[in-house]
A and B are shown apart, each in its own frame.
Chain A
């Protein structure tokens, strides 16, 4: 059986890639995708801990399901915002979206 630390390693790698994407990418769509990547990493963690530590408890699976829902909603809202920004500014680069900057 695959040991727990392997899952955790995968999850950590995915999370780190996500963090890097959020911090480094200028494209808003890429940032959104990176966020999704981080959420997926968290989900892997959740499921792995559930399976290995407390399989009798449904809370881990339920929590993962909630994260999917939130991630889907977030992606929908985020993409909608990005589209509307693109429509008004013709760009999805985050540096260009500085209208509220003091």
Chain B
């Protein structure tokens, strides 16, 4: 096909979206990972780990740094441009929901059926294609500054490019298997990136924790996928959920005229390369409803479990995958620990990619979950109920933990869990549009918040070097016992002279080694940062207000309001799950606003509580530029992303931003056949939104802004919450619980059963037995060898020697003896001859 036409073909374009980052990953991994060995004590290594004293460590060369940045950035920029091109084309279509961009190739021919792999851009994909590449690009730019002095920088870029590529693959996938492939690659990348600073035990432990926790969920999800494939024979989203099932009768649902249409029309969705689907689907989708595979599954009883439909069981399996990936209760424990990774990774995991993937997968498969039920009319299927309960509980559960955390990134981590709970709960009550909306806005402001907090940490470390470099000679002497501090200190010396920007070690590398324990992530050590880091402060404030749902002007308000409106609409009809979700989410939203204000207050407001905070800044130059630019760009979207989803009947704002219809709702809502009706405007949930946001912000203001925390002062929450505080502070002891429930037993099992009994006892025993048998056989063979083979081997030459000795007497050397023998022999021969021929007798 003509290349130009191919590139202009919107069905083909989505193929190219993940290519850029994946190619960048390959190139960086294969070509630009060149390292040089330097002593671990060298400044260039940046004080990684005291254990490496006296060793040589690989540090990536400057050229590899530059090439890896260039390649990685090019890859993601390519993906971004193509994605936005696709988004632009998709949004310009009037009926994207019916005329999706879709193309697939045969991937595997199983004999009876073919398995197609392809890309699909439908109304659900579009918002993610808008958000994901852009957020990834921001993260890449941010990483340039943030990772500028990391000894393994090119590895970082290759992994994060793979991560972005996997996420984009997941977004454009047209079937569950390809989605799962991207899902798992992300799991791997997150493992490697969380444990990126594997010198730190806490980092590799966190990596293992994240990997195993999500693995538990993924295995169950794979089970769901297998079940789905086994019962439908396909994993394509559209084939399962939108196209009529093969052989289905098309029945009119909205007073349509004809009842039965021929089967042929049902096949129109069969996938051929580059086909525009649904050309004749207009009436098929809007007025006539044919049974889809998902609905057929809803009428099929599940295996083993009585009283449950196959669709529900599959749905629950898939949801468990989401619970793992999107860190919902009870599999949420990995996400806060994932903060051990570099901050751009946190932004990647918590905003642009991984955790969104879980929610996205559910939105993708939503018709399957809802099949057989209708949450808008109070009929809940088991998967929806699970989601509503788990989501709402997680939202409030994580929010309460976030209130008491002192680590700037941990607050955000729990806030992420909580916000994901909002989305999952919204899905549970049928508000998949609201969930998608919140997914997008949350991605923008949470990426912003993470990167801003990374900037804060960076700035704090900068201040720390400053403090170490000036004055405290004794402190410096004191810290000489640890390698990390030594390097950092000496490093900071000339760094300060030579314009600051060289002066960073890594944000949390080795801070544990510092003799006077100083945690640059602890908000109690901060305060007053607004003075030295104004850009970070303003962007953080914007992101924070958006997270808190500050009314009317922030993106977070609109998306959260939509979820609450959805929940309230159901509550007015008296549906229990809706009411539960509404109440819990309202409280969670209040807590969200409160802890956000607490965080900003403790970090930026008031006076500096430590010397380090007084000197915290990002310095000047390329590092600070690349770190602040994404903040500014993202804060734009943290405000404006909400305006695409303003309900059109919202007073004033509806008229401004959605004069005709709610743009986001119109776009995404069209994705499904059973169009989710826009919730009519109701003043009550809006008032609640106002009240909880402003109430939380106000309370936070009163407690942390009007009377900022002083140095050495204890958090006022400690006395207010009393005995509850340590419970929240320790995250309801879930880590301890899981350690006692799962980790310890599995360690016990590993040690006593697997190691002592199975490995040492059974396997080793068997092997030892085998070894003994073989030794015995060997001994037997050895004896045989000595006795039989050597006997023969030695006997023959011995015989020869002996016969030689006896025969050599004949060899006297006397010719006459020989002659005598010869004569005797001749005589004997003659005699024999004569006797045998009878000559002798014949003689006369």
Contact = CB atoms under 8 A, between A and B. Distances in A.
Binding partners A and B:
yes
B813 A101 contact: yes
B517 interface: no
B813 A23 contact: no
A95 B819 CA distance: 14
A24 B815 CA distance: 11
A23 B823 CA distance: 9
A19 B819 CA distance: 9
Contacts of B823: 19, 23
A98 B816 CA distance: 13
Given A94-B814, A95-B814, 7 more contacts: A22-B816, A23-B816, A24-B816, A94-B816, A98-B813, A100-B813, A101-B813
A20 to B, nearest CB: 9
Interface in B549-567: none
Contacts of B814: 94-95
B820 interface: yes
A95 B815 CA distance: 9
Nearest to A16: B823
Nearest to A31: B816
Interface in B797-844: 811, 813-816, 819-820, 823, 844
Contacts of A94: 814-816
7 contacts: A23-B816, A94-B815, A95-B814, A98-B813, A100-B813, A101-B813, A102-B811
B813 A22 contact: no
Nearest to A97: B815
Contacts of B844: 5
Nearest to A102: B813
A47 B760 CA distance: 102
Contacts of B811: 102
Nearest to A98: B813
Nearest to B811: A102
Interface residues of B, number: 9
B842 to A, nearest CB: 13
Contacts of A5: 844
Contacts of A101: 813
Question: Considering the complex of A and B, which 4 residue pairs feature the smallest CB-CB distances, nearest first?
Answer: A101-B813, A23-B820, A23-B816, A23-B819
- The B interface, classified by DSSP as helix, strand, loop or mixed, is helix
A94 B812 CA distance: 13
Nearest to B813: A101
A94 B814 CA distance: 8
A94 B815 CA distance: 9
B824 to A, nearest CB: 10
Contacts of A102: 811, 813
Interface string A1-38: 00001000000000000010011100000000000000
A58 to B, nearest CB: 28
A98 B813 CA distance: 8
Contacts of A95: 814
B362 to A, nearest CB: 103
Contacts of B815: 94
A32 B823 CA distance: 17
Nearest to A100: B813
Nearest to B843: A5
Contacts of B819: 22-23
B12 to A, nearest CB: 97
A101 B844 CA distance: 47
A102 B811 CA distance: 9
Contacts of A24: 816
A24 B819 CA distance: 10
A59 B572 CA distance: 147
A22 B819 CA distance: 8
A24 B811 CA distance: 18
A61 to B, nearest CB: 26
B840 to A, nearest CB: 14
A2 to B, nearest CB: 16
Contacts of A19: 823
Contacts of B820: 23
Nearest to B844: A5
B177 to A, nearest CB: 90
A24 B820 CA distance: 9
B833 to A, nearest CB: 16
A23 B818 CA distance: 9
Nearest to B812: A101
A22 B811 CA distance: 18
A40 B34 CA distance: 104
A95 B820 CA distance: 15
Nearest to A26: B816
A82 B657 CA distance: 142
Interface string A79-102: 000000000000000110010111
A66 B820 CA distance: 27
Contacts of A23: 816, 819-820, 823
A49 to B, nearest CB: 16
Nearest to A24: B816
B633 to A, nearest CB: 107
A19 B822 CA distance: 11
Contacts of B813: 98, 100-102
Interface in B288-338: none
A70 B87 CA distance: 122
Nearest to B821: A23
A5 to B, nearest CB: 8
A23 B377 CA distance: 137
A19 B815 CA distance: 13
A2 B816 CA distance: 36
B47 to A, nearest CB: 87
Nearest to B817: A23
A94 B818 CA distance: 13
A100 B813 CA distance: 9
Nearest to A5: B844
Nearest to A20: B823
B829 to A, nearest CB: 15
B89 to A, nearest CB: 107
A98 B819 CA distance: 16
Interface centre among B811, B823, B844 (most CB of A within 10 A): B823
Contacts of B816: 22-24, 94
